[in-house]
């Protein structure tokens, strides 16, 4: 086991260094400008109300985006340091939990945390939108970190009985319910399981808080305003069932490929948990992952960046189930290790590209060795400078030619095309009537 852990630890550190290096060339994109524009025009509170009423109920995630300092950050420093800060935060919060739950030494906890970050990165459906897009990181990556912090606070509250940990746990529940819908549903499911297993006053308070703020998020008028018209009746329900099935198969398949290696690396921790609970309780915890999958099937949403929380939760809870019944699967860790370095399996057309199985390692390596990241940064910065310095209401800029696969980028429409949301966002932010590419 130590040999495998050393291999994965080495890969984890190399991966982290590579991601940090890529971050040095990150720039602001799309919704970063739109969120800053809304705050500039309406003020923070006005932008919050407008977003809640017309766009969606992610009251914490969207508020974080409204604080985007693109207007003041003339050197574009935040996109370069923020991903690194969040990655370090993920590792730091993981250290706290490994020490609290498994009594690891600081050194051992740090090693395990780097390896957990490695697996987290493998499962990401979209590294650009999750790590490097500031607006996306606030919606998807930061909540994952706060979930780990909630796990730590719950443990401290249980061990010490001090009210401060209870209040901090409740505060994080409020924030997480307003982060994104998928993670909110996972958290709600976990709170329901907690109360089902131990019906005490504290778990009831957690559940009531969670339910109330889940409704605050889900019942936002903006959520209903964004719902489009679709066919009704049997056809719609067949589509829902098909999407639920396909989404579940994708997540199960991707997690199963990684599970032998994950169990081999975290065998001690998984066995420690397995000794304290029954298989039935472990199955109940895993079943929580089906709640958001049912929801996404119901709203006809296929695999995309918002499924990453389900993938990570599914991997951890299903690994626990596997170690109860099929522990010997860990001997195939080398198969997992080979597969995760394979290039993206491009089977599906562009419209369904998210369904292609990809563990990101090949993409990251290609980015480091083949993409001129400095040129990408220069082209985008030059475009923004041209738009800012233009005195006219209409601006036409060159297309960005160097487009990385790992850094987030969404191109504008050209003069010959219908405008997209990217054109609209930049036009509003820079107060132009017309911005296009050649």
Q: Give tens-digit pLDDT for 112-149.
A: 999 999 999 999 999 999 999 999 999 999 999 999 99
Rg of the Cα atoms in the chain? 22
- The reported pLDDT for the residue numbered 385 is 92
Greatest extent of the chain over all pairs of C-alpha atoms, in Å: 70
Give me 9's structure tokens: 């630890």
Q: How far apart are CA 28 and CA 195, in angstroms?
A: 42
pLDDT exceeds cutoff 90 at 275: yes
pLDDT exceeds cutoff 60 at 229: no
pLDDT band for 232, please (50, 70, 90 cuts).
low
- The reported pLDDT for the residue numbered 272 is 95
Q: Which residues are CB-neighbours of 355 under 8 A, at least 6 positions away?
A: 246, 250, 302, 303, 347, 348
- The reported pLDDT for the residue numbered 353 is 77
Phi, psi values for residue 200, rounded to 5° = -105, 175
What are 303-320's pLDDT values in tens digits?
Answer: 888 899 999 999 999 999
In the chain, the percentage of residues whose pLDDT exceeds 70 is: 98
pLDDT exceeds cutoff 80 at 226: no
Whose tokens are 């039935």? That residue is 280
255-258's contacts with Cβ under 8 Å and 24+ in sequence apart are 255/123, 255/311, 255/314, 255/315, 255/318, 256/318, 257/336, 257/339, 257/340, 257/357, 257/359, 258/119, 258/122, 258/123, 258/315, 258/336, 258/340, 258/359
Q: How far apart are CA 204 and CA 201, in angstroms?
A: 5
Q: Is 36 exposed, middle or buried (0-12, 13-18, 19+ CB in 10 A)?
A: buried
What are 9-52's pLDDT values in tens digits?
Answer: 999 999 999 999 999 999 999 889 999 999 999 999 999 999 99
Scanning 103-180, the segments in alpha helix (DSSP H) are 106-123, 127, 134-160, 163-177
- Contact (CB, 8 A) for 150 and 176: yes
Q: Is 304 exposed, middle or buried (0-12, 13-18, 19+ CB in 10 A)?
A: middle
Of residues 251 and 225, more confidently modeled: 251
267-272 average pLDDT score: 95
- Contact (CB, 8 A) for 435 and 395: yes
192-220 average pLDDT score: 94
- Contact (CB, 8 A) for 127 and 364: yes
277-297 average pLDDT score: 94
198-216 average pLDDT score: 95
pLDDT band for 352, please (50, 70, 90 cuts).
confident
- Residue 128 DSSP symbol: I
pLDDT band for 169, please (50, 70, 90 cuts).
very high
pLDDT band for 227, please (50, 70, 90 cuts).
low
Q: How far apart are CA 218 and CA 178, in angstroms?
A: 9
Query: In whole numbers, what is the pLDDT of the chain averaged over residues?
Result: 93
Q: Which of 79, 4, 92, 3 is nearest to 335 (CA)?
A: 4
């Amino acid at each position: 086991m130590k040999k495998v852990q050393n291999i994965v630890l080495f890969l984890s550190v190399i991966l982290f260094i590579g991601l940090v290096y890529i971050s040095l060339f990150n720039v602001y994109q799309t919704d970063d400008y739109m969120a800053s524009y809304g705050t500039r025009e309406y003020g923070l509170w006005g932008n919050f109300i407008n977003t809640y009423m017309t766009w969606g109920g992610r009251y914490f995630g969207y508020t974080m985006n409204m604080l985007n300092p693109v207007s003041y950050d003339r050197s574009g420093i935040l996109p370069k340091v923020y991903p690194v800060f969040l990655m370090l935060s993920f590792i730091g919060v993981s250290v706290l939990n490994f020490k609290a739950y498994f009594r690891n030494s600081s050194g051992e906890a740090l090693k395990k945390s780097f390896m957990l970050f490695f697996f987290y990165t493998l499962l990401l459906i979209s590294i650009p939108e999750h790590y490097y897009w500031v607006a996306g990181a606030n919606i998807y990556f930061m909540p994952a970190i706060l979930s780990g912090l909630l796990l730590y606070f719950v443990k401290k509250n249980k061990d010490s009985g001090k009210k401060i940990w209870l209040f901090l746990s409740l505060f994080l529940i409020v924030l997480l319910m307003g982060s994104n819908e998928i993670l909110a549903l996972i958290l709600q499911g976990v709170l329901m399981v907690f109360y089902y297993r131990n019906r005490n006053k504290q778990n009831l308070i957690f559940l009531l808080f969670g339910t109330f703020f889940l409704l605050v998020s889900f019942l936002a008028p903006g959520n209903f305003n964004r719902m489009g018209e679709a066919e009704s009746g049997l056809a719609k329900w067949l589509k829902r069932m098909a999407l639920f099935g396909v989404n579940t198969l994708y997540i199960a398949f991707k997690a199963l490929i990684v599970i032998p290696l994950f169990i081999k690396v975290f065998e001690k921790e998984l066995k420690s948990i397995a000794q304290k609970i029954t298989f039935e309780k472990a199955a109940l915890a895993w079943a929580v992952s089906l709640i958001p999958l049912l929801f996404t099937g119901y709203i006809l949403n296929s695999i995309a960046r918002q499924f990453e929380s389900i993938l990570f939760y599914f991997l951890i809870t299903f690994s626990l189930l596997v170690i109860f019944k099929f522990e010997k699967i860990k001997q195939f860790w080398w198969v997992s290790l080979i597969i995760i370095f394979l290039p993206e399996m491009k089977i599906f057309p562009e419209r369904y590209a998210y369904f292609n199985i990809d563990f990101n390692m090949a993409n990251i390596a290609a980015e480091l060795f083949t993409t001129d990241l400095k040129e990408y940064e220069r082209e985008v910065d030059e475009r923004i400078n041209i738009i800012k310095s233009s005195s006219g209401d209409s601006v036409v800029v060159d297309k960005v030619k160097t487009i990385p696969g790992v850094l987030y980028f969404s191109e504008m429409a050209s003069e010959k095309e219908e405008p997209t949301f990217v054109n609209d966002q930049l036009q509003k932010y820079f107060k132009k009537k017309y911005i296009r590419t050649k």
